[in-house]
């Protein structure tokens, strides 16, 4: 082969080698590309599986949130009314002032804080909401100091790096309009409802108040607000609606128009009687220097409570400013030894059991009684041999009560006291109603002291219920404070019907004891203050106050319970004064206060005079 041919063949071989290399490279590239797209496709499949299977539920919920909207609607809290139609608790519009600090220029914030502070200080003065630390100052100084404090607080809030911040709560419409007139941008108002009490402190312990629970929701505390919270509270409705792309509810969806408002409650309390009871009680507290006091008025024939006055009281509109001890109703919560008012129950038990009559003479009343290691005396250390039971009740003779109790014996006296409801809950729709301790030990000494109202505890409502049974011919009625409950959703009105509990003593016994109580009121130690126009069946009570295991020497609880007219009672009233300082005796404090209050009660209830002075 020639050299030329060899070079030609070599050249051809060289030209062929790159073509084979290209082919190899192309195959590798194709493989890589195929693997890339396969991996990409596999990754896409994995992603689709992740989103459509693993995350399907979460995505579905997210999608629903985008085209669905949940709206929570809450009804208004029900109102509380007096029997004569006055509102004791209702709801009112209020406004919260807020700001958007991030959008407010720094140079405008001091001026904004200053002008807002001026308006808000005037609002606090007008509504008597000035903090207590400023009320001690002269008015001009208080205004200046409060305005300065508010200005600093507002400026501090406005300077925060926040998109939204609340500035002030509970503003009224007038104050809102004054702030709006400033024409500041980036200030706004949230409207909400707050609980208000138009009559302020009237029947505060009976009504209670609305506060917040641990999660910030409105809830009733004490009295009717607490005891009937489920009925008063507005119901809550949650509903989901379809929305368009802008988030607006689609017109075809409609809100459930069911009324969610809470039920209204109408009390048996009469505003006129409640007002006069509170007025006279406040006057009595000042006149007799008492630490505390109560006046209860009821209809003994039905059990309806007509007034429940308590002193000291509180304003439920500003309950947080008062001592929490004032929130409870002492007529239910406070236990005390009733003293001589309890003697009416001892006498009624003895007559009903047949062991005495009003004319029975006491054969053991010539002097003090020695029982075990104790000597028991009368309240004035005066003794009356062979005193009748009628005279004994009028003179409030402790020794005669022991005489009756010993004739009854422990078993029968316990049975009668339980029939009178001593120790038993009232059955109210009031928070705080509960049973009270009933004596467990009944030795000779306990039998003796219980007979005249010491060594046994009760509350004011229990005593009122017990004596009401005597006023109502021996038939005990269940006391009640709720006359009606009105359901706005259904229009249903539930009316309380008077309920008889039991016949405690016979009508004959009740009539005899009533006559004895008339004698006690007219000829007992309080005869000097007895009404000259009206007959009254009543009994005073002066009891000692136990402290640290013994009786306090300088404190008493003075009380007077009575009903009128005796033969056809229209009302029964209990007046109680704790630790009066003008005199320790009920005849000189509680009794005159009862008669002073009763003058107005006779007028309000239209009870004509039935007694002529001889």
Band of residue 309 on the pLDDT scale cut at 50, 70, 90: very high
Distance between CA atoms of residues 362 and 413, nearest Å: 18
Least confident of 158-172, 250-264, 584-598: 250-264
Distance of CA 475 to the CA centre of its chain: 30
Per-residue confidence (pLDDT) for residue 254, from 0 to 100:
47
Res. 43: pLDDT tops 80:
no
| Cα–Cα distance for residue pair 423/14, rounded to 1 Å | 123
Confidence of residue 113 (pLDDT cuts 50, 70, 90): very high
Mean pLDDT of 97-119: 93
Over the range 262-275, which residues count as b (16 or more CB within 10 Å of their CB) and which as e? Answer: bbbbbbbbbbbbbb
Q: What integer pLDDT is reported at residue 157 of this predicted model?
A: 94
**Distant-in-sequence, close-in-space partners of 414: CB < 8 Å, separation ≥ 6:** 442
Rounded Cα distance between 212 and 86, Å, is 26
When pLDDT is averaged across residues 136-148 and rounded to a whole number, the result is 88
In DSSP terms, 81 is beta-bridged to 87, 266
The band of 246, judged by pLDDT with boundaries at 50, 70 and 90, is: very low
What is residue 137's predicted lDDT score, i.e. its pLDDT? 83
Residue 383 has pLDDT above 50, yes or no: yes
More confident residue, 169 or 7: 169
User: pLDDT digits over 515-542, tens only?
Assistant: 999 999 999 999 999 999 999 999 999 9
| Count of CA atoms in the C-beta half-sphere (13 A) of 205 | 27
For the cut 60, the answer to whether the pLDDT of residue 243 exceeds it is no
pLDDT, average across residues 69-78:
70
pLDDT of residue 493 exceeding 80:
yes
CA dist., res. 120 & res. 127, Å (int): 11
pLDDT at residue 239, rounded to an integer: 61
Give me the chain's average pLDDT, please. 88
Task: Compute the distance between CA of residue 192 and CA of residue 552 in angstroms, rounded to an integer.
Answer: 51
- pLDDT of 336-360, one tens digit each? 999 999 999 999 999 999 999 999 9
Decide which of 604 and 47 is more confident: 604
Q: Which domains does the chain have, with CATH numbers?
A: 93-195 (no CATH), 271-314+336-605 (3.40.710.10)
**What is the mean predicted confidence (pLDDT) over 259-273?**
93
CA distance 516 to 536: 11
Cα-based distances in Å from 92 to 120, 168, 175, 201: 19, 17, 15, 17
**What pLDDT is recorded for position 247?**
46
Report which of residues 41 and 561 the model is more confident about: 561
454 φ/ψ angles, rounded to the nearest 5 degrees:
-120, 150
Evaluate if residue 10 carries a pLDDT over 60: no
Distance CA 78, CA 89 (A): 8
Work out the pLDDT band at 429, boundaries 50, 70, 90: confident
Residues of the chain with pLDDT > 90, as a percent, come to: 70
Residue 492 to residue 387: CA distance in whole angstroms:
59
pLDDT given for residue 252 in this prediction: 47
CB distance 79 to 87 below 8 Å: yes
- How confident is residue 545, by pLDDT bands cut at 50, 70 and 90? confident
286-300 pLDDT, tens digit each: 999 999 999 999 999
Enumerate long-range contacts of 604-608, CB under 8 Å, 24 or more apart. 604/270, 604/272, 604/273, 604/276, 605/570, 605/571, 607/534, 607/564, 607/565, 607/570
Q: How confident is the model at residue 255 (pLDDT cuts 50, 70, 90)?
A: very low
What's the confidence (pLDDT) of residue 14?
Answer: 55
State yes or no: pLDDT of 317 exceeds 90. Answer: yes
Q: Is residue 253 over pLDDT 50?
A: no
Tokens of 284: 């009595």
Mean predicted confidence (pLDDT) in 431-460 = 94
444 vs 136: which has the higher pLDDT: 444
pTM: 0.82
Q: State the CB neighbour count (10 A cutoff) for residue 439.
A: 17
pLDDT category of residue 131 using cuts at 50, 70 and 90: confident
- Residue-wise pLDDT for 397-424, tens only, equals 999 999 999 999 999 999 999 999 999 9
The predicted model gives 251-263 an average pLDDT of 61
Residues 6+ apart with CB under 8 A from 201: 313, 314, 315, 316
Question: Environment class of residue 95 by beta-carbon count within 10 Å: exposed (0-12), middle (13-18) or buried (19+)?
Answer: buried
pLDDT tens, position by position, 50-65: 666 666 666 566 555 5
242 pLDDT tier (thresholds 50, 70, 90): low
Q: In the predicted model, is pLDDT for residue 48 greater than 70?
A: no
Q: Which residue has the higher pLDDT, 48 or 118?
A: 118
**pLDDT greater than 70 at residue 613:** no
């Amino acid at each position: 082969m020639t050299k030329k041919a060899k070079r030609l063949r070599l050249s051809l071989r060289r030209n062929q080698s790159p073509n084979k290399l290209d082919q190899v490279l192309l195959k590798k590239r194709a493989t890589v590309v195929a693997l890339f797209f396969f991996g990409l496709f596999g990754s896409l499949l994995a992603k689709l599986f992740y989103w459509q299977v693993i995350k399907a539920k979460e995505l579905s919920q997210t999608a629903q949130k985008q085209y669905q909207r949940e709206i929570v609607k809450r009804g208004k809290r029900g109102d509380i009314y007096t029997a004569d139609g006055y509102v004791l608790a209702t709801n009112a519009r209020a406004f919260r002032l807020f700001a958007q600090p991030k959008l407010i220029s720094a140079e405008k914030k001091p001026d904004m804080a200053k002008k807002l502070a001026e308006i808000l200080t005037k609002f606090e003065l007008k509504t008597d909401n000035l903090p207590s630390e400023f009320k001690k100052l002269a008015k001009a100084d208080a205004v200046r100091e409060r305005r300065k404090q508010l200005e600093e607080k507002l400026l501090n809030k406005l300077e925060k790096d926040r998109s939204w911040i609340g500035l002030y709560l509970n503003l009224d419409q007038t104050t809102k309009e004054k702030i709006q007139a400033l024409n500041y941008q980036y200030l706004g108002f949230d409207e909400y409802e707050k609980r208000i009490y138009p009559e302020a402190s009237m029947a505060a312990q009976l009504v209670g108040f609305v506060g917040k629970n641990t999660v910030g929701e409105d809830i009733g505390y004490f009295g009717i607000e607490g005891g009937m919270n489920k009925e008063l509270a507005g119901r809550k409705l949650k509903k989901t609606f379809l929305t368009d792309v802008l988030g607006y509810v689609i017109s075809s969806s409609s809100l459930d128009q069911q009324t969610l408002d809470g039920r209204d409650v109408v009390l048996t309390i009469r505003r006129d009687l409640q007002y006069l009871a509170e007025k006279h009680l406040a006057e009595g507290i000042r006149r007799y220097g008492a630490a505390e006091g109560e006046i209860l008025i009821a209809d003994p024939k039905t059990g309806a409570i007509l007034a429940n006055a308590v002193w000291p009281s509180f304003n439920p509109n500003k309950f947080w400013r008062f001592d929490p001890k004032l929130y409870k109703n002492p007529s239910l919560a406070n236990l005390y030894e009733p003293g001589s008012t309890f003697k009416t129950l001892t006498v009624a038990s003895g007559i009903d059991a047949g062991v005495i009559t009003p004319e029975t003479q006491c054969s053991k009343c010539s002097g003090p009684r020695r029982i075990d290691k104790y000597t028991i005396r009368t309240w004035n250390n005066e003794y009356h041999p062979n005193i009748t039971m009628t005279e004994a009740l009028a003179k409030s003779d402790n020794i005669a009560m022991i005489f009756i109790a010993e004739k009854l014996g422990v078993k029968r006296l316990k049975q009668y006291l339980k029939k009178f409801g001593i120790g038993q809950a009232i059955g109210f729709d009031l928070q705080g109603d509960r049973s009270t301790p009933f004596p467990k030990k009944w030795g000779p000494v306990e039998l003796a002291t219980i007979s005249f109202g010491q060594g046994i505890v009760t509350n004011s409502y229990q005593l009122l219920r017990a004596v009401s049974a005597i006023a109502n011919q021996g038939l005990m009625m269940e006391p009640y404070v709720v006359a009606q409950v009105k359901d706005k959703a259904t229009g249903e009105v539930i009316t309380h019907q008077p309920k008889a509990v039991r016949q405690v003593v016979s009508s004959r016994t009740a009539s005899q004891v009533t006559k004895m109580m008339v004698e006690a009121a007219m000829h007992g130690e309080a005869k000097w203050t007895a009404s000259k126009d009206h007959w009254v069946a009543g009994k005073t009570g002066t009891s000692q106050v136990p402290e640290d295991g013994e009786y306090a020497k300088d404190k008493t609880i003075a009380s007077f319970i009575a009903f009128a007219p005796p033969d056809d009672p229209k009302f029964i009233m209990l007046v109680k004064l704790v630790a009066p300082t003008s005199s320790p005796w009920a005849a000189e404090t509680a009794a005159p206060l009862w008669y002073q209050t009763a003058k107005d009660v006779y007028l309000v209830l239209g009870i004509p005079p039935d007694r002529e002075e001889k």
